[in-house]
Structure 1
Amino acid sequence: MIGNSAEEEHDAHFSKLALSPTGIMEEELTCAVCSDMYSSGLREPVALPLCGHTFCKQCLSSVETEGPVHCPTCRTQHHGASIAKLPTVFALLSLSETFNKTERGGCGDHGSPLEFWCRGCQEALCGHCLLEAHVRDGHHVEKAKIFIEERKMEIHAQGAQLVQKIRERKDTIVGNIINFIVQITQGAEESKILCSSTQKVEKIVKDAGNIFSIDSVLMSSTLMESLQGEILKHSAQRAEEITGAGKQRCKSCSETEATIGLPRQVSASEVEWQEIPLEETEQTTVHEDLGQGSSSDIPVDSKPKTSKEEAFMEGTISRSNSVQEDVTVEGVEKISVKNLRTPWPLHCSVVDGEGRTGRLRWERKRLHLYALTKNLTEAHLLVQMSLLQTLVSREKPEVFLDLGVENGSIGRVYIRLEGRLRRAQHFLALCLGSLGPSYQGSKFHGVAKRGAPGETLAGGKYITSEGTSVNGLMENLEWGGKYIKEKTEGLVVGASGGKPELDAFFHICTRENRGKKFACAFGEVVTGMEVVHAAVKHIAVKDVFIDNIGVVIPTLPL
């Protein structure tokens, strides 16, 4: 026999009950398996004969098999009589029922336990109340236990509905905030366009004062009309973006969003038509805006400019944004940027808990978050990184890489990642800089199998404060096994050979090789494959670098 006898267990058990406060009393009158208090019927207490531990009959029956019954507490094996034949511990059952009557409240008039509920009168009743006033026609009386269980179910159902409503309201609030951020970001991009356009107008108006020939004045008039048409066209397009957003939705994207529960993200096919050179999306200074073709941010008029017009507009602005002159023309209001009390143009950024910032821009009808950096950039609106990071798609996050060379830009590449893979999350962290370093500024280090099937562009030496590095930032990245994929164009794959110290290396496949496979594919180019091919064809591939990098934030249609 293991431990004390059943009789000794019972003596100790009831001695403990006699000395216990209410909390412990209730614990001792509760089955250790189901946590319900003992009661007549299926919840009657029965004691296992060898160890003396007590449980309700239903719980012991559920663990009974053809072999011995193992005590749920001490694992002692019990042979012999079945659970159904074990005697009820009536002393414990009586204590449990008495405890229920005294601790669950009594009748204020009679002092008896409130064991009934009258649905018609909406009152709790004891036995005396029932006999005195409620045993009559029209009174629907039932046991208090039934009423309590019913109300418990109602409370659970109401709680679940309320939690769902709270979650829906939360999603609405977050969606409104993100749409607000989108509108502010769009406004910041538009402010750069308007700032540039204002200066062009000033230049035309100012130079018109020194014109004394018909040809010159006609030229100035044509330029002004052209600029006016560009602004009106841009305003119309902007209005159409706001009012018509969401009308043309990609069915597959909608289905994907509904499945993973994410805000809508514009598909790659929706932005391919508006591909523009990278330098045309950057507006860091006025000189760059006008001297390097960034005026494409304003929809250009279809009428080509003559050489005289180009010469007239060339180098129109040579002064900085902070230096402005008032220009007054008869019949025209004074044009002056310095009269604006708000910063102009506007800039938006994100900031993380360590004070690093990343640019936030509205490009190609989507919100783009650039990699975090310690170099603080000018910003008039700062958004917490933690808010936007939660909006990055968990299943299919999309990142962008701007490839460049010393004398210019090659273009932008969009890559959709397999978010379920740790290797994809590792790549995402290096695109965003969320774990410290990022791929921004790093160079590609070669082309594998140049000109042959299975050709790849190789990169991944991210830059740290100490120089380049390829060490992984996360552990246990996938390699081989079920992650093997056939070599097809556009796949983004790991290139570490399974070695953790090389986990940051990645290859982009530029030529398929059917029948051959990569050890671990974690993403695929969805837009910009021609940019990757251009990088491969560059005379010195090692001169190709990642100029900018970041992630696309899925947003709700405005």
Structure 2
Amino acid sequence: MDNDKPEECKVCFNNYDEELRRPRTLLCGHTFCSQCIEDTIKNAQLTCPSCRAEHSATDATQFPISYAMEAVIKKLRSIQVASVGTVSAKCGQDRTRDIRKKLQSLAQEHKSSISNLISECEEALSQLSKYQGQVRDWKIQHHQLQDRLYDLLEQNKAAVELLEQEDTSVLTMTTEGEAGKKQLQTMLETLNTVNTAQEVFTTIDEADHYNVEVEDWMKKCQELFPDVNTVYTSVKVQETIKKALDTITTETGATAATVLQGDSTTTIMEKVKIIIGESPPETLTIDHLRGMSESIKRLVEAGLVFGVQQDQDDLRYSRITLQDGQLYLHVLQHQPLPTHAHTIQVSEVLEALDHSSTLVFLDLAWPGSLARHRSLARAGSLAGSNRLHIQLSGNTTLGRQFVLLCTGQHSGSSYLNTKLLEVENKGRPAECVYGGDYQYNNGKGGAPLLSHQDDQQYQKSVSAGAVGSPWSPGSHRSAQFYISTRDLTGSRHWCRVFGKVVKGLDVVRAAVNHSDITEVTVVDCGVVLTL
């Protein structure tokens, strides 16, 4: 069926053209139009709609144009032109409808582009409004600081006036002291030259007079200096102003300017936080995820937050995503981190969960499931991928093992890329589907990850959506599981039940109705973070 219309994209079903919908070939070999490739790229990754292969990409132009496909299309068009004379009126009508369909598709694409641009414009205006509010707050703070600086200047001015007065007083006292000293030196020289008793007595009397004056002067010096108020005020004002000046740096913004140069992905307010040193650290904590500030949320939405686990020399990462307001920790894999990625220890995230009732997820895919998903999304009945949520009972060995296989914590073993194995009682009561052979993917494996424990706390259920294992915890296939898709009747019940599908049972039922159940694959898995 895929080769019936080689000129048509297998995602949007529109014909390839030489502009928006030029055919481009992915590394896995499948070809789609440029527009659909662009639309499929999320968080710097693209999943092939046909084979689900993962490709790193940020733009459709990273994939080569399929010139061979364009040559085939041109050949087909030349054949169509050569046979124009034999085309019936009905064919002409069909072509008119095709042209109308293409025009409608083109108009719809432009409408979508304009709507996206309007949303981006509104976001930019919102950022500008927030930034304007921040700028005005800073202006108020600067005026307040300016008032305080004026107070400091006034205090400094008063201190200088006190010091001027003190300096004048010291100068006056110094002049008086120098005069007294000079008089005493004169008396000393006179006593060295006196010859008569009268001269001696006269000089001694005069010297005693100067002695008294100098002693009074020295006493006055002790009483007047230092002036306590002048010294205290000067020292304290100097300390205050020096502290204020020491906080000023001449390199404000130098580092931030280098970091932000040419950065078009960071919002205005995120740039502000980087400049003032409030950007999130490269290594996050569970409190960052719990608080989910606007900056952390944007990092998650941009695909820049990853869980990390180090096992000896093995380093693996798990994506953390946000969808419909819900955080997801995806399975650990060997994958390169994007530039400016932020990490958090996977163990820290999982320790914060309620282990008595863990919520995990599985994403299923099979040939044709992408078209089904697109149809449901248009109808508004499916917001995410073909995802099912399973509530597990953490007080059982099989439940704890299921969590490990959803996260890949245990030596990298996980349900990722495993296929469903078989359907039992298809179309009848007790219908269920089996899967989970992470070892061989053929139903012969699924060895236990945990040591066998004699659990007696498994539930019994007769309802669709029950998740359990047909094998006991100690079995060499205990990692395999079943999901019931129809209720049981009579006195029977599902055994060894350790979980329940709380969302996405319709996904499992759709997979069961696929012609070959072994084509249904777990393309992603992980834990829903209820922090």
TM-score, normalised to structure 1, is 0.40
Which structure would you say has the larger Rg? 2
TM-score, normalised to structure 2, is 0.41
User: Which structure: greater helix fraction?
Assistant: 2
